Amino acid sequence: DIQMTQSPSSLSASVGDRVTITCRANHTISNYLNWYQQKPGKAPKLLIYAASSLQGGVPLRFSGSESGTDFTLTISSLQPEDFATYYCQQSYRTPYTFGQGTKLEIK
């Protein structure tokens, strides 16, 4: 199975901060990398697919990038509604494994 390692596992930041979350695959996955946001008690929401493509309706402050097997989710200016848990997922090969999650909290 392809392992996805996210870092950090938790992060404290303030409104307006620029935040970066990283996900590393232990095998090539091309650009088959997705990012999701999940708020407590809610279903996950797709933010980014194909490493850098913004899902419809997602604010432009969210962006994704890739460098080999390293992938990054960036939030350019944190808003109050962005405090949530973020997951990466590879969809290159089954099982489509998720990272362990990054909990973004208010500082």
Partner 1 sequence: QVQLVQSGSELKRPGASVKVSCKASGYTFTNYAMNWVRQAPGQGLEWMGWINTNTGNPTYAQGFTGRFVFSLDTAVSTAYLQISSLKAEDTAVYHCARARSPKTSGSLDYWGQGTLVTVSS
* 44 or 61: CB nearest partner 1: 44
In the list 11, 50, 63, 74, the residue contacting partner 1 (rule: CB under 8 A) is 50
CA distances from 10 to 1, 4, 13, 100, 105 (A): 25, 16, 10, 11, 8
Quick check: 1 binds partner 1 (CB under 8 A)? yes
Residues 57-86 that bind partner 1 (CB under 8 A): none
CA atoms in the 13 A half-sphere facing the CB of 45: 18
Residues 28-47 that bind partner 1 (CB under 8 A): 32, 34, 36, 38, 43-46
Under DSSP, the state recorded for 69 is T
* 83 or 96: CB nearest partner 1: 96
